[in-house]
Each structure stands twice: as structure tokens, then as C-alpha cells.
Homo-oligomer: A and B are copies of this chain.
């Protein structure tokens, strides 16, 4: 059993939109991801998803509003809710979600990551 130092894990990768698994518990994954630019609109039919901002500002676009999430703030996007993460500048985010969660949800495209790396 070892603790996880978030900054150390973030130092191990630089690519955007490619979540890395840094922990697993109760069938849930803890992931770290760096975001920059605009993602794709998508939803997860079966999984709620939590976005905890570690560094930077994440804009979560929803169909009816946009929520700006700053460092040490989090948002839970319920299953079935269309959303699109947007980052004007680089942002580092911790995700909590079931191990089954596909990053692009119901919208498979070139951003879809089927096999995630564990750091």
C-alpha cells in the first residue's frame, strides 16, 4: 500500500484528453487527465462522473448552461446528461467514475480511449 502524490503522477505525462488510472477502489477508477481545447459533446448512459479540478479552470458546457470549475472545486455530472469539457488553457483534473466508463461516452470517435494506461 503506497500513497499517491498527485503532482508526481501529473509529471509523468503531457498529452491531452488521455486519462491515466492512478487508483482503483470498489469498482471505481481514480484517473488523472490533462485537458486543453474543446472535447466532444457526449453523455454516459450508465455512469455518473466526477470532475475535481487540481490545477487550472475547467469549463463544463451543459445544454442549458456552462459551469466554470476552479482548483479545489468539483462537479458531478449525472448519467444521461450531455456535457462537453472545454479548457481555454491547460487544466489538470481528477476523475472519479466506474471502471467501465468510456471517456467519450456514447460518442465514439478519434478521441475515444478504449485502453487506459495505469501510472
Contact between A49 and B67 (Cβ–Cβ < 8 Å)? no
A52, chain B: closest CB distance, angstroms: 8
Kindly list chain B residues whose C-beta atoms are within 8 Å of the C-beta of A78. 1, 25
The quantity of this chain's copies bound in the complex is: 2
Alpha-carbon distance A57/B49, docked complex (angstroms): 28
Determine chain A's interface SS by DSSP, over half rule.
strand
**What size tier do the contact residues of chain A reach?**
20 to 34
Closest-by-CB residue of B relative to A4 is B74
A35, chain B: closest CB distance, angstroms: 16
Q: Which of B1, B23, B62 contacts A1 (CB 8 A)?
A: B62
Which A residues between 1 and 23 are near B, CB-CB below 8 angstroms? 1-7, 23
